[in-house]
Structure 1
Amino acid sequence: MFNIIGIGFSETKLKEQPLSAIDWLTDIYLGDEVVPNLINPSIDVDSAFSTTQPINPSTSTKATSRSKKKPLDLSKIFLKKSSFENLNMMISQIDNDIPLPLLSFFYKILSIKDIETFEDENSHQLLNAQIEKLLNFGAVDKAKFILDTERGNNNYFFDRWFNVNLLSYTEQEPCKSLTLEHYQLSKYKEKIFCLTTLKNIKRAKLSLTALEALEIIPLRDEILLYNLLHPNINLLSNFEDLESNITPLDYRIYKKIGRNLSLNKLPKMYQYSTLLEESDWKVKTSATEALVKTGAVKFEKLISTYLEIPEEATGDLSKRAWLTINLEKKLKAMPTSNTSKEFTQLFRELKKTGLESVAIRHYSHELLDLVNNQQNSRTVLNLLLKSADLISLRKLKNKKKLTPIYQNLIFDTALKRKPNSKITSALSMALQEKSVPLAYKDMIEEEKYGDALLRSILFLKTTNLTDPKNLKESIGLLNFLGFDDLARETSIYLLANKVVK
């Protein structure tokens, strides 16, 4: 195993603690995860995807010390005046192809539960749309956090709650509830699974026999449940395409009877379940990489997963793991050494699978140290800019290393002349805007803050960035609503990663 090199990570599951609504909204990643004992403990994990972090007084300048507008209270952005249909449509259209600072901000919006100002049905539908998006990202634990509290208020979300507990391997409580209460006949599969889970095999078999006698159970379900209750008999060999229209309950039954499924054909919420199972290292590592890209799990989790790969493993996946572990080992042994080569090699390899940006963001503090301590650090400086982490960027010792536009975006230093590029000019002007952008004026006047924020995020998708006007107005809205650091980080990310030019 890779961990023979002496790097120790703790995989102990953190115990969940009750969070207040404020704690919940300020938690970038919205919930507890398995967090390894980092080799680089100096990194503040929770602020690694910061949006509105305060500036360190010791590093601030006159340019950055100007008073900032108080950010809009996210818990109050979904009001009765908003259109549920529009909100639902925009939530469904936003994916993880947005700048990383915006992705973490979008997770905050998806976490909002204070939507009582809607009529009851619309409130449920909106929260259901948020949960659906979290599950599409593979963020099962974050969806579960919401459902654990909402289910206590009503039974509207029981099916969702049951499914996320199946995906989280925490089905004991919902199963007890399901078997103790009267249940709909249509939930026969859920009840038989739960009876099996609760070790009441005799009652489960009697239930299946009764369903067969009534001839109300489809043949596919009958064979699936029969295999569940008789694990030594395999009747599924003639069934093909098991992954089509699979439900969380089907997934768990297949796992119980030892049936392997191809994760490539399944939604990302099933990849989260893979992290909790005794899976093949290739399957588990591939699932972790996929979830890191959507923001569902942190890069630290991927590092700990890389450590579990056998030392004799070969291929691109093991190469990424080896480069990551080699870098971590060197940072631990010699924190002040020049690791430019190791960083460059790792990021080049991670770029092939879409993980470069997340990794650069994760290592922003170490990249800052390299830039401040090395004379020839242009390459590393460019990497640091790609991280778009304002906390690190504002600690640069020599601001003269930056071009005027980056000095403007990071430190709010005035530009001596207007940029030649329409894009850079639009970004700079957006950050100085004091009034609400025209495209969002009606929404803001009607207090449709949720509509406005989601629209701005949607317009900042990679595929929607060709119009400088949309870019200026969307960044300008974030700035107007008090999310100044988020607007700056997004602008820096777009420029440094050449998403816009």
Structure 2
Amino acid sequence: MKPAEAIFATVLAAGPAAAQQQPLSAIEWLNDPVPLAAPRLPPGQEPPVAPTVMVPDVSVMPLGESRPDGVGLLPAGVTGLPATLWAASSETTLIDLWSGISHEPLPAVQALYYTLLLSEADAPEGDDGRFLRARVERLAMLGAVEPAIALLERAGPAEPALFAPWFDLTLLSGGEGRACNALRRQPELSPGHAARIYCAARAGDWNTATVIFEVSRALGLLSAPVSRLLDLFLHPGLAEGGVPLAPPRSPSPLEFRLHEAVGASLPTHSLPRAFAVADLRSVAGWKAKLEAAERLARTGAVSPNRLLGLYTERSPAASGGVWDRVAAIQALDSALGNADLTRIARALPAAWDAMQAVRLEVPFAQLFSARLEDFDLPSDSAGLAWEIGLLSDGYETVAMRPGSGREARFLAGVAHGEPPLELAENTLERAVGDAFATTRAAPADRALLEQGRLGEAILRAANRLDAAGRGDGAAIVSGLATLRAVGLEDSARRSALQLLLLDWRR
């Protein structure tokens, strides 16, 4: 223990005794669960018991002597993935692979990432908690804060290394009361003196908060920005006539909440995606909620239905930016509700353009494809509706009604897993055709599969697709081929269709 911290501990020893350790509260699952992929096992192994992946209701359970790294929210019977998914791989290798995923993956790939991140499986050999923390970090990077919290609660964050991320994420989700109650029950898990000060003050224990603050500041245990924030938090009168707070470049969740508490809220659009979750709370304005939901929907961290609910909550307050998107979605939703073909044909292209501008084509397809199928639209609108349908869950059914053009027939072939190579005209189409013409994994992944490193092989293949550009034929072939070889046919078809149809991936 450092001398300053030893003095600090001595000063506080006379304070109230810590409450007896109690377990953290049960998981309160997402109202809008993250959409997940539906992987299948390779031939010869037991098939999954369910045709699609659903997020189950979960609760905290004692794990005995089990390592926290293997916990998950999706059991093997749901995902179809074996318990040995990660066991044969190097922990360091897997963590490096997870750190390499993009901030905004191809939607089909991000769905696969969620399945892998949330799967219950034996952990690789290594330090307790390290692999779990890496998974939680990736979930947070994608904005999937509630599943990350649930994963940590499933493990039981009873040590500082796991409690710290749980505390931070719970602050972002609006659960500061729960976070502080847990910290006050188990102060030995505190992620820092600032957290203890904040939580003591929130509980109305101003004397303890002030003592901890004054001692911490005197001993240099607080950074200058955090010290000033806490001073303003504990002494609101200091803000009158004071120098305005400079916004920090990389605030912690606690700094973010302290800025909010002292009346200097920080905008979330320039902060990591996990901070956008804070703008979904009831205290946020409609515009902030809309922009946060769009940002989170791009990574599957907000469901399409929740996004639609926000879009249709009320009439747009102005024009331009998000208000134009609100108006476009409301116009299409109203036209469909009234079965007005003329209005649908006019509203569909405008709404589609609006969603393309913010890379929300797949959530849009999930919301409107099935509704569009009920109408006999004019040819131009019908062609657009057909392509939108290929980005939805019902892509195979949609593909049974292809147009007569070359591109439409090729896309229909991809949707059925048999793209006609003779119709391929460019590098991307030829790569997709080649990938579906083989049943073997990419050479780079075969050794991994032979060694039982299934999860690593899937993750490497997904990473290649994630990083592939339109002209990167080799990466596309190898990524799709490996996914198909291990039974992830649905993920491969969705990925191929999205590579072909999403302009921002070209």
**Following superposition of structure 1 onto structure 2, how do residues 27-426 of structure 1 map, counting pairs within 5 Å?**
32-33=30-31, 73-74=80-81, 76=83, 78-116=85-123, 118-121=124-127, 124-152=129-157, 155-183=160-188, 187-212=192-217, 214=219, 216-234=221-239, 237-238=242-243, 241-308=246-313, 311-334=316-339, 339-370=344-375, 373-374=376-377, 376-386=378-388, 387-389=390-392, 391-395=394-398, 398-399=401-402, 401=404, 403-412=408-417, 415=420, 417=422, 419-426=424-431
Query: C-alpha offsets along residues 362-394 of structure 1, whole Å, 9 cap, x if unaligned?
Result: 322123334xx34x4354334433443352442
Q: TM-score, normalised by structure 1?
A: 0.78
Indicate the residue corresponding to 2:453 in structure 1. Answer: 448
In the alignment, structure 1 segments of 5+ residues that lack a partner are: 1-15, 20-30, 36-44, 56-69
Select 1:475's aligned residue among 473, 476, 480.
Answer: 480
**Separation in 2, partners of 1:163, 1:274:** 16
How many residues matched? 446
Instruction: Name whichever of 341-350 and 195-204 sits farther off.
Output: 195-204
The share of aligned pairs that are identical, in percent, is 20
1:434 shift after superposition: 2.5
**Compared with structure 1, are the counterparts of its residues 75 and 380 closer, same or farther at alpha carbon in structure 2 (3 Å cutoff)?**
farther
RMSD, aligned α-carbons: 3.4
Query: C-alpha offsets along residues 84-135 of structure 1, whole Å, 9 cap, x if unaligned?
Result: 233222222212543322221111112234343x2351x5222211111111
Instruction: Name whichever of 398-407 and 225-234 sits farther off.
Output: 398-407
Query: C-alpha offsets along residues 313-349 of structure 1, whole Å, 9 cap, x if unaligned?
Result: 2222211101111221222232877723211111112
**Separation in 1, partners of 2:419, 2:441:** 22
The 8 Å contact of residues 348 and 356 in structure 1, kept in 2 or not, is answered as no
The 8 Å contact of residues 75 and 113 in structure 1, kept in 2 or not, is answered as no
- 2:374 aligns to what SS in structure 1? helix
1:129 is aligned with what amino acid? A
- 2:105 aligns to what SS in structure 1? coil
**Compared with structure 1, are the counterparts of its residues 341 and 54 closer, same or farther at alpha carbon in structure 2 (3 Å cutoff)?**
farther
1:86 is aligned with what amino acid? T
**Separation in 2, partners of 1:207, 1:467:** 57
The 8 Å contact of residues 160 and 190 in structure 2, kept in 1 or not, is answered as no
2:228 is aligned with what amino acid? I
**Compared with structure 1, are the counterparts of its residues 438 and 300 closer, same or farther at alpha carbon in structure 2 (3 Å cutoff)?**
same
The 8 Å contact of residues 232 and 238 in structure 2, kept in 1 or not, is answered as yes
**Separation in 2, partners of 1:219, 1:414:** 61
1:331 is aligned with what amino acid? L
**Separation in 2, partners of 1:298, 1:186:** 32
1:437 shift after superposition: 2.4
The 8 Å contact of residues 171 and 179 in structure 2, kept in 1 or not, is answered as no
**Compared with structure 1, are the counterparts of its residues 384 and 148 closer, same or farther at alpha carbon in structure 2 (3 Å cutoff)?**
farther
1:189 shift after superposition: 0.9
1:377 is aligned with what amino acid? S
1:101 is aligned with what amino acid? A
Indicate the residue corresponding to 1:28 in structure 2. Answer: none
Which of structures 1 and 2 has the larger relative contact order (alpha carbons within 8 angstroms, sep 6+)?
1
1:212 shift after superposition: 4.5
The 8 Å contact of residues 183 and 190 in structure 2, kept in 1 or not, is answered as no
**Separation in 1, partners of 2:396, 2:191:** 57
**Compared with structure 1, are the counterparts of its residues 33 and 219 closer, same or farther at alpha carbon in structure 2 (3 Å cutoff)?**
same
- 1:264 aligns to what SS in structure 2? coil
**Compared with structure 1, are the counterparts of its residues 211 and 405 closer, same or farther at alpha carbon in structure 2 (3 Å cutoff)?**
closer
In the alignment, structure 2 segments of 5+ residues that lack a partner are: 1-24, 41-49, 53-76
- 1:460 aligns to what SS in structure 2? helix
Indicate the residue corresponding to 1:26 in structure 2. Answer: none
**Separation in 1, partners of 2:175, 2:114:** 23
The 8 Å contact of residues 460 and 471 in structure 1, kept in 2 or not, is answered as yes
1:297 shift after superposition: 0.8
Query: C-alpha offsets along residues 110-164 of structure 1, whole Å, 9 cap, x if unaligned?
Result: 2234343x2351x522221111111112211121111111125655301111111
The 8 Å contact of residues 51 and 489 in structure 1, kept in 2 or not, is answered as no
The 8 Å contact of residues 303 and 325 in structure 1, kept in 2 or not, is answered as no
- 1:138 aligns to what SS in structure 2? coil
